[in-house]
Amino acid sequence: MTGLSEVGIILPQYGSEVETVRQTALEAERLAYDAVWLEDHLQSWIGDPRRDTHECWTTLSAIAEATDRIRLGTLVTSQSYRHPALLAKMATTVDHLSDGRLELGLGAGWYEDEYDRFGYEFRTPPADRIRRLAETIEILQGLWTNETYTHTGNHLDVDLEEAICEPKPVQDPHPPIWIGGGGEQFTLRYAAELADGWNYGTLTPSGFADKLEVLRDHCADDARFEEIRTSAELFVFVAETADAAEDKRERFKSEFLPDGPTTPREHFLAGYLESAPTGTPDDVARRLEEYAAVGIETAMLVIPDAADPDDESLSLLAEVLRE
């Protein structure tokens, strides 16, 4: 009904028990969603940073073991938080644990307070981080597709001498690599050159249409553009009536943005709320169809109520997605 090729769920890893995260993944699989995703943060970026936050990759390993069919991935892993060779081994292991279901999303990193709190260098200008992201992908691909791989760091302080990554990933030649971000000069150019998929959020359909045109311009040709899977990360508030759905959005806003956005992360959240499809399942499906109409193929949905065992958002939406 939506015109999308895939719809996935971003799991509720903030302020939830880890068992809630696992059970939400199992419910998403039961309802025939296509994928589940985890963000890569060491503290919550929504509300109080001290809210429980489950580490991305160890949690993903548990999800890989618990599920059978649904694909699973990172939206997105920060290139700064792990040495690229370690990340290559981690991703390969999860690809094996899941029998080849991993999607590897990568980003340059944006949450400066988190970097400062945990001792990571937050490089500026952003282009410095994005160049390091591109080099991380180069290293991942080199380790995954060669018997041995040697690399001399350029933007990264990483030198490898005949490094090995065995076993190779289950997926050939490697798990799909997504780049997340909307920077038009660097991020979209590297997505055009290096990625299997591109993801961004906070935009209306027309905003995505503009970004996709920039992505197309960065591609070597139309054939390359058609190879890149395009996706939108969207908050969704769904209920049996439009008024009930709007009440959900207002409650969420009152809890996490009671005085309006004042910090970069709150402005980021406000953008998601402004663009969030909200209403009945049919309303949301029609809104997702608008994204598909401009060229978005995959929706990655944040459903804030999914962690509530008494909430039916996942099942309500699944019914119209299967039509």
* pLDDT > 90: percent of the chain: 96
Average pLDDT over residues 22-30: 97
Q: Is pLDDT at 234 greater than 90 in this prediction?
A: yes
Q: Which domains does the chain have, with CATH numbers?
A: 6-321 (3.20.20.30)
pLDDT, residue 182, reads: 95
In Å, how far are 20, 185, 316 from 189, measured between CA atoms? 38, 6, 38
The predicted structure's pLDDT at residue 2:
79
For residue 218, what pLDDT band results from cuts at 50, 70 and 90?
very high
pLDDT tens digits, 114-135: 999 999 999 999 999 999 999 9
Span 239-256, average pLDDT = 97
What is the pLDDT at residue 1? 64
Confidence (pLDDT) at 321: 87
- In the predicted model, what is the mean pLDDT of residues 67-71? 98
CB 93 within 8 A of CB 62: no
Identify the residue with better confidence: 22 or 323. 22
Q: How far apart are CA 199 and CA 10, in angstroms?
A: 13
Q: Cα torsion at 273, 106, 197, 23 (round to 10°)?
A: -60
Least confident of 1-5, 147-151, 182-186, 238-242: 1-5
What pLDDT shows up at residue 284? 97
The percentage of residues in the chain with a pLDDT greater than 70, rounded to a whole number, is 100
The whole-chain average pLDDT of the chain stands at: 96
Mean pLDDT of 145-155: 97
The CA distance from 294 to 208, in Å, is 7
Residue 114 near residue 41, CB atoms below 8 Å: yes
- HEC string for 19-75: HHHHHHHHHHHHCCCCEEEECCCCCCCCCCCCCCECCHHHHHHHHHHHCCCCEEEEC
Task: Give the confidence band of 323 by pLDDT, cuts at 50, 70, 90.
Answer: confident
Q: Is the pLDDT of residue 269 over 90?
A: yes
- Mean pLDDT across the stretch 61-80? 97
- State the pLDDT confidence band at 15, using cuts at 50, 70 and 90: very high
Helices 187-194/126-145 angle, 10° precision: 10
